[in-house]
Amino acid sequence: MFRTAFRAAFGALLGLAALVSPAAASQIIYTLTGNTSTGAAFTITGTGDTTSLFSFLGNVNTPTVALTSNTITVGANSGTISSGPLYFFDNHTVGVAGFNLGLSSDLLDFGAAGFSTYDVISNFGPTPASLFLGANINTSFGNVDFANATNLSFSAVVGGAVPEPGTWAMMLLGFGAIGLSVRRHQRVLA
């Protein structure tokens, strides 16, 4: 009786956990380094989620990822790009990628070998890049001019998967089932 009830409950919990477990999310970090128009070294880092991929304005040739955070370091100054939601995109048509503000204004566009096919959710580079469009970017420590940025290098690195709640539930159920099985097996042997 207990055995049948346990199997039914375990099967129901496994089914429920499978239903509530979405695809695992992976963090991706985009990094652009170089020198500003004044020669100061800079690093821009944007962090996104690979599951937030979408096509900009429905154009399949422009995969885009919403960034959840960003940092910018110029010389001794460090802060964030502070003008609204930031996105990373790759325009396959012209082989240019970049950082976009609010899906309306390109802040910094750059070209590199392989951008005509880069999917924006996998590892890339580091690779040298060339400036395509640079703007005066508003940061938390003031405006920075990227109009003539030089010595650009770009990389994208996918981090480890972030376990979803359904995954944790499945692991706990599995450990519990193993514990019950071992306990029951020890009772049978005694």
Task: Give pLDDT tens digits for 110-134.
Answer: 999 899 999 999 999 999 999 988 8
How many Å separate Cα 99 from the centre of its chain? 14
- Per-residue pLDDT, 21: 45
Cis (ω within 30 of 0) for the bond into 63?
no
Query: What is the C-alpha to C-alpha distance for residues 119 and 90, in angstroms, rounded to an integer?
Result: 8
Residues 87-97 pLDDT 10s: 999 999 899 99
Residue ranges per structural domain of the chain: 2-21+165-189, 25-162
The residue ranking higher by pLDDT, 160 or 84, is 84
Whole-number Cα distances in Å, 13 to 8, 22, 124, 162, 172: 9, 16, 40, 22, 11
Query: What is the C-alpha to C-alpha distance for residues 65 and 121, in angstroms, rounded to an integer?
Result: 8
The residue ranking higher by pLDDT, 62 or 187, is 62
- Per-residue pLDDT, 56: 78
* Residues in contact with 152: Cβ distance below 8 Å, sequence separation at least 6, in sequence order: 32, 33, 34, 110, 128, 129, 130, 131
Burial 151-181 (b: 16+ CB within 10 A, else e): ebbbbbeeeeeeeeebbebbeeeeeeeeeee
The token pair at 139 is: 């940061």
pLDDT at 165 over 90: no
**Is the whole model's pTM more than 0.85, yes or no?**
no
